């Protein structure tokens, strides 16, 4: 939005506004889940973080070449396709959670329709690969073309939904997004013209997909693709968050009235955040289609959005890497708990313990409730909590609470 605002002072004002609100948020209580890791840290800290981040990505990237076995956490050594598939799925969910966090955590937009855009990416690419195939084009070009078509579709869908939904705020906004997502979900299940596969789901038409991304033996490549998507989403989110638009969005979340008084219209910034986050979700959705060689109607449901919300809160709303940690922890837990549910150990327990423990979602739901009650900063907030000592729940500011 600031690009259009070329009258000298306005952008500076916006920065000052957001910074003051930021400082306000940090000043009142150190353990607020919205504080970004200490501002007062030495100038060397970003460099350490940068090197650490790069090192982490490199380690993750060479994981398929190693044979690390973590019993209980991973189903097998890291070079096996099953483990790689699981890790890749976890990273895509993390990417989706990151995009959701940008909307919910940064801009304070509580959307119940994020699954719609993930599904738009997955189903969009699936259908584009099936129907958008000019015979004379080479298959690589068709593949790229399908990706571009899906991206454009995702952006248009996000712009349409966003421009309508952002006309209202708070709970109404959540409901409009829920309504659109529900409409999308119904449409996918209804299977118009046999295009979406209905309840069965859509299976990937591999005619035009590069060979390197097809088959169990190439799970490695899909893993790298998922890692690439995660890094890409992270960088875009980082860029948006550091930009002026990101600061305005943050300030709007804290106090929309003040932002308006200063003379900035929050609508365009919110719209921008909504479209970018939704498009990133569509990108993650495309990765999901390629990884799973298909899409199931489950990814379009409101329950799926709620899962993403749970992941973001579990990881810590106030931290970018919280969403990543949440996504990976949640996916691994879900998978391992499902494996545990079928194990002999559980089968041998009395019914009172066996029934709850054999339902992964029950354990995850309970865990989530405990995190909301006792760990407001989420998993990523634990170090901060330890550093600042045990504190009571940070009081939520009225504007945010009412949003």
Nearer to another protein, 151 or 299 (CB): 299
Burial class (CB in 10 A: 0-12, 13-18, 19+), 59: exposed
Nearer to another protein, 109 or 286 (CB): 109
By CB under 8 A, what part of segment 240-269 binds another protein? none
Residues touching another protein, count (CB under 8 A): 46
- Can you tell me which of 75, 198, 228, 360 binds another protein, judged by CB under 8 A? 360
Q: List, in order, residues 6 or more apart from 52 with CB less than 8 Å away.
A: none
Nearer to another protein, 15 or 359 (CB): 359
- What tokens were used for 361? 């979602």
Spell out, one character per residue from 81 to 120, where the chain touches another protein: x when CB under 8 A holds, - when not. Answer: -----------------------------x----------
Nearer to another protein, 211 or 402 (CB): 402
Instruction: Decide if residue 171 touches another protein (CB under 8 A).
Output: yes
Instruction: Decide if residue 175 touches another protein (CB under 8 A).
Output: yes
Instruction: Decide if residue 373 touches another protein (CB under 8 A).
Output: yes
Select from 130-138, 178-186, 326-334, 342-350 the region that touches another protein (CB under 8 A). Answer: 178-186
Angstrom distance (rounded) from CA 172 to CA 110: 10
Nearer to another protein, 11 or 322 (CB): 322
Given a contact cutoff of 8 angstroms between Cβ atoms, the answer to whether 202 and 196 are in contact is yes
Q: List, in order, residues 6 or more apart from 94 with CB less than 8 Å away.
A: 230, 323, 324, 325, 326, 327, 328, 331
Nearer to another protein, 104 or 288 (CB): 104
Minimum distance of another protein from residue 156's CB (angstroms): 17
Minimum distance of another protein from residue 310's CB (angstroms): 7
Nearer to another protein, 319 or 368 (CB): 368
- Can you tell me which of 46, 52, 82, 356 binds another protein, judged by CB under 8 A? 356
By CB under 8 A, what part of segment 293-352 binds another protein? 302-303, 306-307, 309-310, 313
Nearer to another protein, 167 or 387 (CB): 167
- Can you tell me which of 51, 365, 382, 383 binds another protein, judged by CB under 8 A? 365
Nearer to another protein, 264 or 310 (CB): 310
SS (H, E, C) the chain: CCCCCCCCCHHHHHHHHHHHHHHHHHHHCCCCCCCCCCCCCCCCHHHHHHHHHHHHHHHHHHHHHCCCCCCCCCCCCCCCHHHHHHHHHHHHHHHHHHHHHHHHHHCCCCCCCHHHHHHHHHHHHHHHHHHCCCCCCCHHHHHHHHHHHHHHHHHHHHHHHHHHHCCCCHHHHHHHHHHHHHHHHHHHHHCHHHCCCHHHCEECCHHHCCHHHCCHHHHHHHHHHHHHHHHHHHHHHHHHHHCHHHHHHHHHHHCHHHHHHHCCCHHHHHHHHHHHHHHHHHHHHHHHHHHHCEECHHHHCHHHHHHHHHHHHHHCCCCHHHHHHHHHHHHHHHHHHHHHHCCHHHHCCCHHHHHHHCCHHHHHHHHHHHHHHHCCCCHHHHHHHHHHCCCCCCCCCHHHHHC
Instruction: Decide if residue 359 touches another protein (CB under 8 A).
Output: yes
Minimum distance of another protein from residue 211's CB (angstroms): 39
Select from 183-191, 215-223, 252-260, 328-336 the region that touches another protein (CB under 8 A). Answer: 183-191
- Can you tell me which of 106, 358, 379, 384 binds another protein, judged by CB under 8 A? 358
Nearer to another protein, 213 or 357 (CB): 357
Minimum distance of another protein from residue 183's CB (angstroms): 4
Instruction: Decide if residue 198 touches another protein (CB under 8 A).
Output: no
Longest dimension (CA), the chain: 72
Instruction: Decide if residue 187 touches another protein (CB under 8 A).
Output: yes
User: Interface residues with another protein (CB under 8 A)?
Assistant: 110, 164, 167-168, 171-172, 174-176, 178-180, 182-183, 186-187, 190, 302-303, 306-307, 309-310, 313, 355-356, 358-366, 368-369, 372-373, 376, 393, 396, 400-403
């Amino acid at each position: 939005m600031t690009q259009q605002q070329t009258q000298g002072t306005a952008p500076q004002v916006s920065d000052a506004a957001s910074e003051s609100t930021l400082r306000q948020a940090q000043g009142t209580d150190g353990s607020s889940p919205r504080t970004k890791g200490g501002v007062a840290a030495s100038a060397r800290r970003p460099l350490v973080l940068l090197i650490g981040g790069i090192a982490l990505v490199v380690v993750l990237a060479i994981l398929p070449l190693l044979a690390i076995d973590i019993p209980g956490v991973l189903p097998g050594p890291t070079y096996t396709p099953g483990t790689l598939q699981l890790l890749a799925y976890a990273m895509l969910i993390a990417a989706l959670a990151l995009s959701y966090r940008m909307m919910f955590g940064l801009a304070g937009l509580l959307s119940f329709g994020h699954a719609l855009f993930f599904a738009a990416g997955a189903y969009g690419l699936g259908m584009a690969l099936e129907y958008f195939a000019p015979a004379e084009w080479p298959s690589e070009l068709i593949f790229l073309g399908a990706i571009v078509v899906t991206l454009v579709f995702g952006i248009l869908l996000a712009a349409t939904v966003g421009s309508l939904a952002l006309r209202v705020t708070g709970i109404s906004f959540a409901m409009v997004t829920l309504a659109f997502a529900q409409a999308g979900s119904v449409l996918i299940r209804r299977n118009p013209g046999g295009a979406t596969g209905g309840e069965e789901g859509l299976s990937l038409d591999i005619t035009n997909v590069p060979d390197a991304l097809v088959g169990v033996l190439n799970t490695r490549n899909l893993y790298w693709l998922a890692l690439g998507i995660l890094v890409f989403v992270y960088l875009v989110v980082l860029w948006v968050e550091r930009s002026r638009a990101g600061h305005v969005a943050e300030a709007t979340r804290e106090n929309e009235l003040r932002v308006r008084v200063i003379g900035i219209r929050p609508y365009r910034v919110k719209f921008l955040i909504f479209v970018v986050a939704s498009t990133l979700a569509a990108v993650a959705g495309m990765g999901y289609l390629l990884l799973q060689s298909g899409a199931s109607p489950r990814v379009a449901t409101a329950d799926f959005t709620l899962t993403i919300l749970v992941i973001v809160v579990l990881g810590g709303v106030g931290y970018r890497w919280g969403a990543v940690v949440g996504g990976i922890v949640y996916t691994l837990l879900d998978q391992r708990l499902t494996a545990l549910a079928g194990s002999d150990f559980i089968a041998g327990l009395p019914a009172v313990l066996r029934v709850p423990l054999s339902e992964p979602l029950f354990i995850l739901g309970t865990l989530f409730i405990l995190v909301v009650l006792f760990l407001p900063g989420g998993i990523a907030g634990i170090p901060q909590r330890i550093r600042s000592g045990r504190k009571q729940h940070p009081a939520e500011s009225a504007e945010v609470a009412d949003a």
